[in-house]
Amino acid sequence: MVRVGRGRRLMGGHTAARNVAWCTAATMVMSMAVSTFPTPLYPQYERLLGIDAFGVTCLFAAFAGGAVGGLELLRRFGLRLRPRTLVAASGATAAVAATVLALDAGLVPFALARALSGAGAGSASAVATAWLHTTVESLPAPARHRWRTSAPALSMLGLALGPVLAGVLVGGAGLSRTTAYALLAGAVTVATAGVVLTGRDQSGRPRPAAPVPRGPRGPRGPRGPRPVIALAPRVRAALAFATTGVFGALTPTMLAAVTDHPSTALLGACAFLPFAAAAAGGLLPARPAGTAAVVMGTGLVGLGAATSWQSAGLFLACCLAAGVGSGLLFKGALGEALGAAGTRLTDRRTDRQVVGAVVMRWAYTGLAVPVLGLGLATTRLPVTTALTVFAVLLCAALAVSCAPAAMRGLHPLPGEKET
Q: What is the pLDDT of residue 342?
A: 53
Taking the C-alpha atoms of residue 350 and residue 81, their distance in angstroms, rounded to an integer, is 11
Is 142 within 8 Å of 325 (Cβ atoms)? no
What percent of the chain shows pLDDT beyond 70?
81
pLDDT for the residue 359: 84
Q: Is the pLDDT of residue 222 over 50?
A: no
pLDDT value at 162 more than 60 = yes
Question: What mean pLDDT, rounded, does the chain reach?
Answer: 80
- Give the residue, 409 or 85, on which the prediction is more confident: 85
Q: How far apart are CA 256 and CA 260, in angstroms?
A: 6
For residue 270, give the nearest of 281, 280, 255 by alpha carbon. Answer: 255
- For 325-380, what is each residue's pLDDT tens digit? 998 898 888 877 776 655 444 445 556 667 777 888 888 888 888 888 888 888 88
Residue 75's pLDDT band, with cuts at 50, 70 and 90, is confident
What is the full DSSP assignment across 244-280?
Answer: HHHHHHHHHHHHHHHSSS--HHHHHHHHHHHHHHHHH
Please check whether the domain covering 2-204+227-416 is classified as CATH 1.20.1740.10.
Answer: no
**Gap between the Cα atoms of 123 and 51, Å rounded:** 29
Model confidence at 175, in pLDDT bands (50, 70, 90)? very high
Considering Cα of 31, then 37, then 178, then 118, what sign does the dihedral take? positive
Least confident of 116-120, 128-132, 373-377: 128-132
Q: Name the DSSP letter for residue 409.
A: T
Q: In the predicted model, is pLDDT for residue 270 greater than 80?
A: yes
Whether the CB-CB separation of 242 and 288 falls below 8 Å is answered with no
- Domain boundaries along the sequence of the chain: 2-204+227-416
222 or 137, which is more confident?
A: 137
Helix/strand/coil for 15: helix
What pLDDT score was predicted for residue 406? 57
What does the chain come to in residues?
A: 419
Q: What is the spatial distance between Cα 404 and Cα 419, in angstroms, rounded to a whole number?
A: 22
Q: What is the mean pLDDT of residues 138-143?
A: 77
Instruction: Identify residue 306 by its one-letter amino acid code.
Output: A
Do residues 327 and 160 make contact, with C-beta atoms less than 8 angstroms apart? no
CB-based contact 146:365 (threshold 8 Å): no
Contact (Cβ atoms closer than 8 angstroms) between residue 49 and residue 107:
yes
- Sorting pLDDT into bands at 50, 70 and 90, what band is 109? very high
Count CA atoms closer than 13 A to 52's CA, side-chain side: 7
What does the alpha-carbon distance between residue 341 and residue 301 come to, in Å, rounded to a whole number? 35
Which string of b and e fits 290-323 if b means at least 16 CB within 10 Å?
Answer: bbbbbbbbbbbbbbbbbbbeeeeebbbbbbbbbb
For residue 98, what pLDDT band results from cuts at 50, 70 and 90?
A: very high
Give the model confidence (pLDDT) of 183-207 as tens digits.
999 999 999 999 888 855 443 444 4
**pLDDT at residue 177, rounded to an integer:** 94
Among 73-87, 369-383, 401-415, whose mean pLDDT is lowest?
A: 401-415
Greatest mean pLDDT among 20-24, 29-33, 157-161: 29-33
Nearest to 124 by CA among 339, 360, 344, 382: 360
Q: Is residue 17 over pLDDT 60?
A: yes
Rounded to an integer, the average pLDDT of 141-151 is 77
Confidence label for 6 from pLDDT (cuts 50, 70 and 90): very low
Q: Does pLDDT of 217 surpass 80?
A: no
**Pairwise CA distance, residues 386 & 151, whole Å:** 34
